[in-house]
Structure 1
Amino acid sequence: MGMQLHGFRILVVDDEPHIVQFLEFGLENEGFEVRTAADGMSAMAAAKEFQPHVAILDVMMPGMDGFEVCRMLKKTENVAVIMLTAKDEVEDRVKGLTLGADDYVIKPFSFEELLARIYARIRNQFPNLFGEVVMGPFQVDDRRKEIKFQGRMLELSPTEYSLLHFLLLNHGMVLSKAVILDKVWGYDFGGDENIVEVYIRSLRDKIGDKERQYIKTVRGAGYRVEA
C-alpha cells in the first residue's frame, strides 16, 4: 500500500473474537494503531479515550447493536464509521447510512477490500493528514493535485487527475463506469458513459500502458487498477 499513516487510530468493535484478532493483526501490520471492543458500552468508552479516526462496527452485537453505537459515536466524535453487515441485510445498510455510517462492508469480506474502504474514508475525512502517497509506481500528491508515474510527472487535465486519483484510491476494486461517472463527473452529469472509456484511453496513453497492466478492463464490469 505504501501509505505511511503512523499514529492513525482505528477502533474495531465486534463480539466475535476471531474477527477482532484477524483485523487487529492485519491493521497493526499496516501501521495503524488499533483498539478493540466487544460490545457497545466498551466501544463508547474506548472511543472517548482513544479518539479513533475510523471505527469499524459490526451491526449484530448483543446489548447495544452497531447502529446504536454508530448513532452515539457520530454525535460525539469526529470519526469515520464503516459498518460490517451480513450478506442479505439490505435494510441494515440503508439504516446504517441514514444513521450516519460512512460506508459498509458485507461479510464475509477480504482484508484488502476493508483496507481500501478505510483508506477511502481517511482520504475523504482527513485529507490534511496526507502529503504524498506512494502506490506501486504511482506517487500521488493530493495537495498539489499531481501524480507521478515511475518518478515522471504526468501532464493531466483536472478531470484526468480526478479519474486517476479515484482509480488509485480504490485500487484492487472493480469500478463500474456508472460509479466512476458518479464520483468523478458528479451526480448531475448528463452525458454518456462512453466518456469514461475516452478518458481511460487517454490515461493509458499518458502512462504508456499499452499492455493494460496498470489500468485493467474487467469485461462487463468496469475497470480495476493494479498498483
Structure 2
Amino acid sequence: MRILIVEDETKTGDYLRKGLLEAGFQADLARTGVDGLHLALNADYALIVLDVMLPGLDGFSLLQQLRERKQTPVLMLTARDEVADRVRGLELGADDYLIKPFAFAELLARLRTLLRRAPPRVQDRLSIADLSIEVQRRRVTRGEVRIDLTVQDFALLHLLAEREGDVLSRSLIASHVWDMNFESDTNVVDVAIRRLRAKIDDPYPVKLVHTVRGMGYVLEIRA
C-alpha cells in the first residue's frame, strides 16, 4: 500500500518515510507543495500525509486543489494548534488532523483507521495506447480526438478497460453493462461491441478491442 508524505522538514520527512517503510508500506516523500501536488494528482496513493507549512504551495492550497480532482484520504500535520487552522483543514476536505510533535505510534494508528474507513477507490483515469478514459467526467479521447459515447457504450468500454488484458465472456459483459442474464440467442453484446469498435477502433490503425473465439472479448494492445 503506497503512501505519499509531503513534508519540508528534512528530519521529520525522513523519519516518517523510514517508519512507514518499516511498518510495511511503500512511501514516497515530497519536500515542497508543488512537488507534492504533482505526485498526488499523477500517481495512485492509498493515503497522503500532508504538512501545512510548505514552501511554494502550502498544505491548505494543496488540499483544495487536490479535492477538485481526487478524494484520496489526507491526514494533515501541523505545528499550529489553533482551532481555526484545524477547522479550515477539515472544511477543505482533510480526513484527520495531527498536531506536532506527535508519537509515531499514534500517527500509524490514525493512518490505519483512515485506510480501513476509506471506501474502495475507483481509478479516475484509464489509458491504453493513445486511448484515454476520464471516468468521472465520462470523457473519452483517442489521441487528440474526443469520442462521444452513449451511456451503455461508455459502460462497456469502462468495463473492458478496467479489466485490460482479461478475456470477458458475453454473459459477464451482459450482467455488468445491462444487468441482465445473457441468453445464447441474444446478440446484444455483439452489436454493442461492433458499435464501440466503429467509434474507438475503426478510424485508427492500432486496434484495441479483440474477439477471442468461443470465449468473449478483450481490450489490449497486440503486436
TM-score between the two structures when normalised by the length of structure 2: 0.52
Q: Tell me which amino acid in the other structure corresponds to 1:50.
A: A
| C-alpha distance in 2 between matches for 1:24 and 1:115 | 12
Aligned match of 1:101: 94
| C-alpha distance in 2 between matches for 1:106 and 1:126 | 25
Deviates more, 1:32-41 or 1:42-51: 42-51
Aligned match of 2:47: 54
Instruction: Provide the secondary structure at the position in 1 that maps to 2:77.
Output: strand
Instruction: Provide the secondary structure at the position in 1 that maps to 2:55.
Output: coil
Aligned match of 1:40: 33
| C-alpha distance in 1 between matches for 2:107 and 2:66 | 20
**Contact 1:53–1:78 (Cα < 8 Å) also in 2:** no
Within-5 A mapping of 1:82-101? 82-101=75-94
Kindly state the Cα deviation for residue 98 of structure 1 after the two structures are TM-superposed: 0.4
**Contact 1:87–1:108 (Cα < 8 Å) also in 2:** no
Instruction: Provide the secondary structure at the position in 1 that maps to 2:81.
Output: coil
1:124 paired with 2:117, answer: yes
1:117-151 deviation per Cα after TM superposition (whole angstroms, max 9, x unaligned): 101100110469xxxxxxxxxxxxxxxxxxxxxxx
Give unmatched runs, 5+ long, in structure 2: 122-223
Aligned match of 1:111: 104
Instruction: Provide the secondary structure at the position in 1 that maps to 2:93.
Output: coil
Kindly state the Cα deviation for residue 62 of structure 1 after the two structures are TM-superposed: 1.9
**Contact 2:49–2:76 (Cα < 8 Å) also in 1:** yes
1:9-40 deviation per Cα after TM superposition (whole angstroms, max 9, x unaligned): 11000110111100000001111111111111
**Contact 2:49–2:75 (Cα < 8 Å) also in 1:** yes
Give unmatched runs, 5+ long, in structure 1: 1-7, 129-227
| C-alpha distance in 2 between matches for 1:62 and 1:45 | 14
Query: Greater relative contact order: 1 or 2 (C-alpha under 8 angstroms, separation 6 or more)?
Result: 1
Kindly state the Cα deviation for residue 78 of structure 1 after the two structures are TM-superposed: 3.0
Percent of paired sites with the same residue: 45
Count residues with an aligned counterpart: 121
Q: Moved runs in structure 1, 4+ residues, more than 6 A?
A: none
Kindly state the Cα deviation for residue 87 of structure 1 after the two structures are TM-superposed: 4.7
Q: Tell me which amino acid in the other structure corresponds to 1:79.
A: T
Kindly state the Cα deviation for residue 74 of structure 1 after the two structures are TM-superposed: 1.8
Within-5 A mapping of 1:1-227? 8-126=1-119
| C-alpha distance in 1 between matches for 2:69 and 2:98 | 23
1:172-211 deviation per Cα after TM superposition (whole angstroms, max 9, x unaligned): xxxxxxxxxxxxxxxxxxxxxxxxxxxxxxxxxxxxxxxx
Kindly state the Cα deviation for residue 86 of structure 1 after the two structures are TM-superposed: 1.8
Structure with bigger gyration radius? 2
